[in-house]
Amino acid sequence: MGKLRQRMLDDMRIRHLAVTTQDQYLISVGAFAKYFGRPPDTLGPEDIRAYQIYLIGEKGLSPSSLNVTVSALRFLYCVTLQRDWDIKMIPYARRPKKLPVVLSRDEVAQLFGAVRNLKYRTVLMTMYAAGLRVSEATHLKVADIDSSRMAIRVEQGKGHKDRYVMLSERLLAQLRSYWRDYRPCGWLFPNQERTGPLPISTVQTVCKEARRDAGLSKAVTPHTLRHCFATHLLEAGTDLRTIQVLMGHRSLSTTAVYTHVAIQNLHDVRSPLDLLPDPAAVRS
């Protein structure tokens, strides 16, 4: 698969796909070829169908994981190999619609309070204060913090788009305290060797341990802080379009999911049960 792998890699680079996406696609196509013990260019739609059934039945892949393979195979056959197939012959798995887990403001404060390390606490606070993805936070540079305009520049976020988000006054104070202790140069949150950004896996571990130490019952990941950012803004009265821009969402419908999570307005609505007369009064 050497030449085919290189051609697919070149096709992905030409289209400027994210490096992580390129890696995932190559791994998925490699696993597909290994399953059949044949080069992918000798396999067809029926083989792809059989492989999908195997991934669902025997491997027990979730719809999200299965769809990574589907995207990889669609790219391979329709772009690199230029097969004249109906793209629907390689169907995506339907994903169940689940609402994101959101912490209350008190729970977010508990989470931060459970992180003793200043650097790690500052990373989590940055993600929440600006609604950043974990990869966006770890790839921030010192120069991205613009205190004169009270803004943070997010360079090449998802979809290869730059954007600006607000710089919270409280976060700025936190960042200054962190800078005095760590003196970062280049990467705002460097790895231990100061040769690159802080690994995403480190932030994930920090978040997991903070949840445990804070005694929170809800599942918490770094992405939970991004969900909290959007939901808390919406509950505070920020309009969806502004939240969409801050989050870097391509579609407003993606941002609209937070209308199903925000509960502030629910407190103003009375349940019909509260409006029923007292059963004892009705009986009398």
**Catalytic residue status for 241:** no
Residue 88 bears catalytic tag: no
| The one catalytic residue among 121, 139, 232, 249 | 249
Marked catalytic residue, from 74, 133, 211, 227: 133
Per the annotation, the verdict on 249 as an active-site residue is yes
Which of 74, 139, 226, 227 does the annotation list as catalytic?
A: 226
Residue pair 71/25 in contact (Cβ under 8 Å)? The answer is yes
Of 7, 163, 208, 223, which is the active-site residue? 223
Cα torsion 176, 179, 181, 186 to 10°: value is: 180
**Could you tell me the two tokens for 57?**
């039945």
Concerning whether 258 is annotated as a catalytic residue, the answer is yes
CA distances from 155 to 85, 159, 221, 241, 281 (A): 37, 11, 22, 21, 65
d(CA 262, CA 90): 36
The structure tokens listed for 245 are: 């821009």
Residue 88 backbone dihedrals phi, psi, to 5 degrees: -70, -10
**Count of C-beta atoms within a 10 Å radius of residue 283:** 6
Residue in 119, 158, 163, 208 annotated catalytic:
158
DSSP labels, 44-80: -HHHHHHHHHHHHHTS---HHHHHHHHHHHHHIIIII
**Would residue 94 show up in a list of annotated catalytic residues for this protein?**
no
Whether 121 is catalytic: no
Distance CA(249)–CA(17), nearest Å, equals: 17
Q: So which residues are the catalytic ones?
A: 133, 158, 223, 226, 249, 258
